[in-house]
């Protein structure tokens, strides 16, 4: 069964009433500070009276930040030619 509430989908391998599914989704929203976009989906495994919930967080956006000549920057698009040349002339060390 599949239930959607507040933009979050709960997938269950058994039947549950809508109020119970809503309560599990609300619990997930509490775990993620009320941000539905932080939750990809929730899986519920029913085993008799027990319910095992697995929360799948949405993939976050990763942005690289570098320190170049004393400035923290994500991209070089606002640098002039001299700053870009300085960055490209740097010695790159391999990551261990």
* Structure confidence by residue, pLDDT tens digits, 33-74: 877 778 889 999 999 889 999 998 888 767 778 776 677 777
**pTM to 2 decimal places:** 0.58
Q: Taking residues 8-35, what's their average pLDDT?
A: 90
Cα–Cα distance, 70 to 87 (Å, whole number): 12
pLDDT, residue 69, reads 67
- 34 or 96, which is more confident: 34
Kindly state the percentage of the chain with pLDDT values over 70.
Answer: 95
CB 79 within 8 A of CB 66: no
């Amino acid at each position: 069964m599949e239930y959607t509430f507040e933009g979050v989908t709960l997938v269950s391998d058994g039947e549950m009433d809508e109020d119970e599914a809503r309560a599990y989704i609300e619990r997930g929203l509490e775990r993620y500070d009320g941000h539905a976009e932080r939750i990809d989906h929730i899986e519920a495994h029913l085993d008799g009276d027990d319910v095992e919930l697995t929360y799948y967080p949405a993939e976050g956006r990763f942005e690289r930040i570098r320190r170049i000549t004393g400035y923290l920057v994500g991209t070089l698009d606002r640098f002039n030619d001299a700053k870009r040349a300085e960055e490209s002339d740097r010695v790159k060390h391999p990551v261990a």
